[in-house]
Amino acid sequence: MILSIGSNLPTFKSVTFYPGLNVLLSTMAPGSNEGRTRNSAGKSSLIEIIHFLLGAKADPASLLRNKALAEYSFHGVFKIGGHPVRVERSGSKASRIYLDEASIVRFGFDAKADKKNGGMYITNEAWKEFLGHSFFELPATVSGSLFDESFSPSFRSMVSYFARRRGSGAFNHPEKQAEAQQRWDWQVNLSYLLGLDWRPPYELQKVRQREGQLDELKSAAKGGVLGAVVGTVAELRPQMVQARDKADRLREELARFQVHDAFESMMTEATEAKAEIQAILRQAVPLRETLDHLQDALNRERIPDRGDVVRLYEAVGIELPDAARRRFEDVERFHQSVIENRRLRLQEEVDRIIRAIEMGQQRVAALDDARGAILRTLEGHGALEDFTALQKHLADADATAASLAERFKAAEVLEGESTQLKIDRASIKRRLQEDHHARRERLDLAIRLIGAAIGGLYTDRKGNFEVEATENGPEFRISIEGDRGGGISNMEVFCLDLALFSIWKAKAKGPGFLIHDSHLFDGVDARQVAQAIQMAAKSVADGNAQYIVALNSDIFDSLSWAEDFDPAGAVLDTKLSDADESGGLFGFRFE
């Protein structure tokens, strides 16, 4: 639970929360438009601060690193494991999480002392690891576990379902807590939150990666870098057979060829030198082909230019949302790291191949000198010209056959991998089906909770929660009868959030709170808004958790409540307003 949020910013309006229902009201001035500044009243900003204190990334463009706020610290008291934990963080030192001494001792944190202010702090990564274990039963030590790998469940992804942010596009799709959230991310994290096996969608994402790499190779093989190198199994097989037969015929002719006895010993030496030269040259063919491909791949490695998207938005006069800019920067840094690592590995392989080619060239030069001396000795004798010509034809035929054999093997690998990927997808689908059957009680619970929420919201509509195992991973769908108007899609978000909150509350786990911004109720009929708040309030009536909802005061005043429900006592003492600069959460406005 959240007990309080505050700041050393003198004009900041501290907020104290209580168990059960908490209603934060904001008064909107006549004709105001909350979008005119980024912090008109501050309801959404309060959620950003809560995320900031719970380990969210603090990119340069984020709210708490704005130059007007960066030097101030924000703090909150959270009830974790039955104990109050005071946490403090600032935009200027975003990597440091300052904790109270009692919590450091109680939970055994490896804290460091700040030489300037004397406070004790841990890293943000350590804080997220602790919260993931405390809230969602992730390993106490993630390092070395499956949860330390890419595409595994994460604390930040899961907690964002309990405090959705409008700026991230969190209200657009029930299954996604951010518009930019990737398919693997919501599949893995929702599976975990619902008590399903998250490993099939985790493994499916690895299949997707392999498919992407295979598509690149196939595209190159159809006419790009590898166009003349690979080919298909069907077209290469007859070419390879014919080349081998030709080499065998030439080898038989050469075996029958007779040279005068006087030349045999020297001819043997020349033949051996020639054979070794040809072997080196044959080995050089695939090495050079591989080198060309690697150097081309190295030259093509670059970071996608996000400036195109920004310029597109600027061209139509739309400011790219801050959250999207942050996401682009996250992706850009991620791509930068991936590309740098890949370029390093490519360069190492290029260097290795170049060394191998150079050593082969040196050996060929030495052998060619020795062979040349022998041939000059034998030159002019009648049988030598025919013999060496036949040798050359055989060497050429062997080289052609070897090259085709290598291309054939590469084609088999490509086509075999494509088949294997299809098998892997089908296998993952089967595992999903088996898991959904084995854990049907957990699925049934989620279906009942969401069905009850839909029934509580609408007396004239029916709705369902469907979980389907597909070859593209688990699909999570909430459907409510009727058109998509009237805020129905927003209420689908509410139903899923309330179900996830109830599942983890029943386990005495989870964050202990569910937070909804007033934007969730945009376009929703007043009757459904009141019903949603009353249902959420009922779910926390035992005092062991919180439902925090931020509303505009005029909307709140217009709602009709059940006779046995009075929300007035749940309205927080802190009131926000955009009537003037001092009425907002921060006490002043900034851009």
Residue 410: inside a domain, yes or no?
Answer: no
**Other CB atoms within 10 A of residue 61 CB:** 14
DSSP 317-335: T-PPPHHHHHHHHHHHHHH
Residue 204: inside a domain, yes or no?
Answer: no
Question: Does 133 share its domain with 263?
Answer: no
Question: Does 388 share its domain with 251?
Answer: yes
Residue 156: inside a domain, yes or no?
Answer: no
Which CATH number belongs to the domain containing residue 73 in this structure? 3.40.50
pLDDT, residue 216, reads: 73
Q: Which domain holds residue 266?
A: 241-395
Contact 91, 64 (CB under 8 A): yes
Contact 511, 540 (CB under 8 A): no
Distance CA 426, CA 208 (A): 13
Give the residue from 350, 365, 395 where a domain finishes. 395
Give the residue from 395, 414, 441 where a domain finishes. 395
Contact 481, 192 (CB under 8 A): no
pLDDT, residue 383, reads: 58
Residue 556: inside a domain, yes or no?
Answer: yes
Cβ neighbors of 207 (< 8 A, separation 6 or more) are 421, 424, 425, 428
Strand order from edge to edge, sheet including 20-27: 513-516, 546-552, 20-27, 571-577
Which CATH number belongs to the domain containing residue 257 in this structure? 1.10.287
Number of residues assigned to the chain: 591
Give the residue from 341, 365, 395 where a domain finishes. 395
Contact 590, 66 (CB under 8 A): yes
Residue 377: inside a domain, yes or no?
Answer: yes
Residue 477: inside a domain, yes or no?
Answer: no
Bridge partners of 467, per DSSP, are 476
Residue 305: inside a domain, yes or no?
Answer: yes
Amino acid in the structure at residue 38 = R
Residue 327: inside a domain, yes or no?
Answer: yes
Question: Does 391 share its domain with 245?
Answer: yes
- The string over 494-514, giving b where at least 16 C-beta atoms fall within 10 Å of a residue's C-beta and e elsewhere, is bbbbbbbbbbbbeeeebbbbb
- Average pLDDT by stretches of 10, the chain with 591 residues: 98 97 87 50 92 96 93 97 97 96 96 93 97 97 94 97 94 95 98 97 92 72 49 69 81 69 66 85 82 77 60 60 63 71 77 84 85 68 64 83 71 65 90 96 96 93 93 94 75 97 97 96 94 97 96 94 94 91 90 79
Total domains in the fold of the chain: 2
pLDDT, residue 493, reads: 96
